[in-house]
């Protein structure tokens, strides 16, 4: 539970929204099942994918030039590979 609390606090600070430990249960965008409260209602990336009708931003043709996910890709080179599945 301590790791979940630490993660919730860090995500709250990074995203400037209140995220509680119970909000971070998630099986991921590509898996059926539990999604975080953050993803379903606040995540710009998830909302963009849903608006464009793709399962995840990894399925979007504009991924590599996307300003919404660009900051994440710049900070994490492995993220692009993961997103493309």
pTM, entire model: 0.61
Per-residue pLDDT of the chain (85 residues; tens, 9 = 90+): 799 899 889 988 887 888 888 888 777 777 788 877 767 677 788 888 889 999 888 899 999 889 888 888 888 878 888 888 7
**Angle of CA points 63, 56, 75, to nearest 5°:** 50
Within 13 A of 18's CA, how many CA atoms are on the CB side? 0
**What is the spatial distance between Cα 61 and Cα 66, in angstroms, rounded to a whole number?**
9
Q: Which of 69, 40, 41 is nearest to 61 (CA)?
A: 69
């Amino acid at each position: 539970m301590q790791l979940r609390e630490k993660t919730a606090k860090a995500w709250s600070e990074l995203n400037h929204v209140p995220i509680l430990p119970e909000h971070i249960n998630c099986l991921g965008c590509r898996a059926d099942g539990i999604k975080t409260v953050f993803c379903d209602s606040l995540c710009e990336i998830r909302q963009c994918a849903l608006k464009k009708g793709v399962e995840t931003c990894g399925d979007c043709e504009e991924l590599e030039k996307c300003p919404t996910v660009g900051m994440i890709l710049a900070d994490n080179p492995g993220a692009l590979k993961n997103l493309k599945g």
